[in-house]
Structure 1
Amino acid sequence: MPRWRIPAALAAAGLMLAGCANPSVGSANDDPTKPVTLKFWHGWATPGEVKAVDDSIARFEKLHPNIDVKATGNVSDATINQALRAGGDKAPDVVSSFTTNNVGQYCDSGMWADLDPFMEKTGLDKRKTFPKALLDYTSYRGNQCALPLLADAFGMYYNKDAYEKAGIERPPRTMSEFEEVSKKLTVRSGRNSYKQVGYMPNFRFYQNSPDRLFAQWGPRYFDAKGDSRLAEEPATYDFFKTARRLARAQGGFDDLERFRLTFGDEMSSQNAFLTQKVAMHLDGEWRGLMLKDAKADFEWGVAPLPVPDDRAETYGRGFITGTVAGIAHSSKHQNAAWELVRFLTADTRQVVSFANAIHNVPSTFAALKSPDLDADPTFRTFFDILRNKHSKALPPSVNGGAYVVSLGDFAYSVEAGRVGDLREGLKKLDEQIDADTLQSKS
């Protein structure tokens, strides 16, 4: 399973035990210049990704011939956390995760070591090295227990041929333009079906989980105490109103849902954007490479997703996520482990090489400016989205990914018309998220 498609429910469920863990205590007294073997666990699984990881390790070992790195791939968060709870010689020293919204649990549980002391003694200035959005999702309440290891940015792919046929000159920049363009691009094939929809707004469609579109509003999920505040957030109501309007403009939820059920698998040759059943599509930077490999028989482009009309100045923003890396608290080789983490996350040549190899967005300022980066202009659109100061990632929480799952379940009910009073429904959602957070701390 590609790294950015790990279901949030599984990621959340796998970590629910971490909040009550009593992690083994490791050591930061080791000499990183002495011979040592480090165990590095990661989640990459496809042959190309594994090769890119192995090549990265080879580059590191050439710079640090005293450090031997044993890498294990295709490892889930649940497996990593079980090993860290147990501790001992079989536990990993360096770990990575594809689930940024679990960072709150990594940090709060003590499973992952605080990296600030290592950065301080080796002179790495994190604020000058990494974009703020990435630092936000790799720390929790002052504990920087992880660092970004490449990123994913979400934008809007659009069918240029469909645009030309509909007389549309440029991608929409505001939600009202988005609604208008979506309607123009929608082509019916009968009373209850379609040949093409402009944009499929239904939240069960591929990458359309509600948190990704919601990022265009820059919402605050939690208050200063860590309590859920979705019912208090004005953007929440505008977000659901906009989603309903997008659906109504193209025929309504029921017709759209019937059409969605005819789509092929996201990762197949029957992908709805590839087969031109959808003219505009929310997706990440990896989709461009897939479209090229599939030899899409239409011209396509990439642009940032539209933003709310009253936030037009934030156009260019998007949803940000990515891989995070850290040091196991139980490791007895934490200084040597830091050398590996620092190399993987902050060495410019390494970050650029890795980003080019697996077609992900670089996660440092220096790498984003490198002339050695893939020059594909559609790929570089995602660099701009990452650099945009308004771009947002999901906030870390000791609740892990459970609050995202709860929001998704609620959003499915809203779009299907099963929530009569939105405010009351959101209040109950807040209560559920807070109860899950309390349970994760017990």
Structure 2
Amino acid sequence: MRRIRAAAVGAVTLPLVLTAAACGGGSSGHGGSNEQPKSLTYWASNQGASIEVDKKVLQPELDKFEKETGIKVKLEVVPWADLLNRILTATTSGQGPDVLNIGNTWSASLQSSGALLPWNAENFEAIGGKDRFVPSALGSTGVRGQDPAAVPLYSMAYALYYNKSMFKNAGIEKPPATWDELVETGKKLSKDGKWALGAEGSNLSNNIHQVFVLGKQHGADFFTADGKADFTSDGAVAAVKQYVDLMGKDKIVAPGNAEYAQNQSLSDFANGNTAMVLWQTASATFQAQGMTEDEWGVAPAPVPSGAPGQGTATNSMVAGINLAVFKNTRNIDGAKKFVKFMTSDGEQTILNTAYGSIPPVKAAQQDPAFNTPALAVLRDTLATSATALPQVPEESQFETVVGTAVKELFAEAAAGRPATTESVRAKLEKAQQQMPKK
């Protein structure tokens, strides 16, 4: 999932979804006549440098779909800060789109609402078959053992992006491969009003992505094998403290980053104010902000020691965007045709090239457009060292409450109160108390 900041109300809303979804209802413009409408409403998540960039990317493809099928698609690009709560409201009210983007980490949470169309064998066959998709992408489409709640659309992974000229001017020959190297390198770069590393302390889900990976490196999963929240283990506490310490203790992240939300760290990087950023599939955003490809490099995200891999050498979550259908749409056939169109080999090449992401469709991955050095790092990460976030119904609450805990710790660090083991554990205990009891 990309650039998400879900509001705290999500933790309150989701339990209501589980009871209200069974009440039925209709999507926006649905209900009344049984006549199949000749239009669809599509909520697209903000993938480009701005909402306007997304409209420029998507509208020509939607026009193409209308020309082929006669079905007009009404597009709304929804900012990440609003998307989860908009979806949760739609599942309870029945007033939502026909087709929508969801962050792949939300799949299990939204699946439990019962509002999304299950992608059983028949539905997959209608879009060309399940075996067209890369297995790792299908692994983040819902609870294992159940029919997926969505279909993969864009695949992404985290990497370390670095400014080549800033590294050269500081006498640094190569990007850091371990966290110790990153801190050491960062102290050489944080001077003269510039900072080594960008962060987005107010971006809740980015906070989760970073501390989840660090948690894996510390041997923590944040959930037990039976799906219970486990936020206060020593590994989870160490992971959160390590991330916040990049600002409070190591002083390689600007204190102002505590207030940063969606894309602000990318703007600082593009403008030469920070030398590094940990981000998922960011090349298209840098280009949209005026950087040329020779100005930045990309390397695997850091690990404690040695090479990236599984377990404690994990260096990314399995990131991506899924395409879902509200099952109460009045235009189910049109919705399936749209999903088939968006996941076709040709459209996968067009859309993933535009966004700098990787197609989750096997055939489209073979296009030369996805053989660049930058994308090779991301493909290797997805194949060898990325781990899916927990596919549990409470995942969206996890993003909200733990993401908020990290946000609050960043605010304290920015105010001159660095995190301690005790302060981190207290925040995580508070977050765990906000989770549903099992």
Query: Contact between 2:10 and 2:88, CA under 8 Å: does it hold in 1?
Result: no
For the residue of structure 2 that corresponds to 1:388, the secondary structure is helix
Shift of 1:241: 5.1
* Rounded Cα–Cα distance in structure 1 between residues aligned with 2:267 and 2:376: 23
Give matches, 1:164-175, under 5 Å: 164-175=168-179
Counterpart among 402, 405, 416 of residue 410 in structure 1? 405
C-alpha spacing 1:196/1:217, structure 2 compared with 1 (3 Å): same
In structure 1, the residue matched to 2:185 is: 181
Counterpart among 180, 194, 197 of residue 195 in structure 2? 197
In structure 1, the residue matched to 2:62 is: 57
Shift of 1:316: 8.3
Matched to 1:136, the amino acid is G
* Rounded Cα–Cα distance in structure 1 between residues aligned with 2:238 and 2:261: 31
Please tell me the root mean square deviation across aligned C-alpha atoms, in Å.
4.0
The answer to whether the aligner puts 1:110 opposite 2:108 as a matched pair is no
* Rounded Cα–Cα distance in structure 2 between residues aligned with 1:81 and 1:247: 33
Query: Contact between 2:204 and 2:400, CA under 8 Å: does it hold in 1?
Result: no
Unmatched tracts of structure 1, length 5 or more: 27-33, 190-194
Query: Contact between 2:245 and 2:419, CA under 8 Å: does it hold in 1?
Result: no
In structure 2, the residue matched to 1:398 is: 393
Shift of 1:338: 2.2
Shift of 1:83: 4.6
* Rounded Cα–Cα distance in structure 2 between residues aligned with 1:42 and 1:292: 22
In structure 2, the residue matched to 1:215 is: 213
C-alpha spacing 1:271/1:73, structure 2 compared with 1 (3 Å): closer
* Rounded Cα–Cα distance in structure 2 between residues aligned with 1:287 and 1:211: 19
For the residue of structure 1 that corresponds to 2:38, the secondary structure is strand
C-alpha spacing 1:413/1:70, structure 2 compared with 1 (3 Å): closer
Give matches, 1:188-337, under 5 Å: 189=192, 195-200=193-198, 203-204=201-202, 209-218=207-216, 219-232=220-233, 235-240=235-240, 242-243=242-243, 246-247=246-247, 250-251=250-251, 258=255, 260=257, 271-291=267-287, 293-295=289-291, 299-309=295-305, 312-313=308-309, 317-337=315-335
Shift of 1:352: 0.8
* Rounded Cα–Cα distance in structure 2 between residues aligned with 1:44 and 1:376: 25
Q: Which protein has the larger Cα radius of gyration, Structure 1 or Structure 2? A: 1
Any idea what the Cα deviations from partners look like across 1:157-216, whole Å, max 9, x if unmatched? 1121222233322111122222222223232x5xxxxx2232256845899624325325
In structure 2, the residue matched to 1:363 is: 360
Shift of 1:274: 3.1
Aligned length: 408
Shift of 1:115: 0.5
Unmatched tracts of structure 2, length 5 or more: 27-34
In structure 2, the residue matched to 1:19 is: 18
Any idea what the Cα deviations from partners look like across 1:302-349, whole Å, max 9, x if unmatched? 11211122774456842343322122221344344323223323x111
Any idea what the Cα deviations from partners look like across 1:364-418, whole Å, max 9, x if unmatched? 23222212x2665435543443x33321343344335321222123234385446
Q: Normalising by structure 2, report the TM-score.
A: 0.76
C-alpha spacing 1:4/1:180, structure 2 compared with 1 (3 Å): same
C-alpha spacing 1:380/1:206, structure 2 compared with 1 (3 Å): farther
C-alpha spacing 1:406/1:269, structure 2 compared with 1 (3 Å): closer
Identity value in percent? 21
Give matches, 1:123-138, under 5 Å: 124-126=128-130, 129-132=133-136, 134-138=137-141
Query: Contact between 1:96 and 1:323, CA under 8 Å: does it hold in 2?
Result: no
Query: Contact between 1:228 and 1:430, CA under 8 Å: does it hold in 2?
Result: no
Query: Contact between 1:9 and 1:401, CA under 8 Å: does it hold in 2?
Result: no
Matched to 1:280, the amino acid is M
Query: Contact between 1:25 and 1:329, CA under 8 Å: does it hold in 2?
Result: no
Query: Contact between 1:103 and 1:139, CA under 8 Å: does it hold in 2?
Result: yes
The answer to whether the aligner puts 1:99 opposite 2:96 as a matched pair is no
* Rounded Cα–Cα distance in structure 2 between residues aligned with 1:184 and 1:205: 27
C-alpha spacing 1:84/1:214, structure 2 compared with 1 (3 Å): closer
C-alpha spacing 1:292/1:316, structure 2 compared with 1 (3 Å): farther
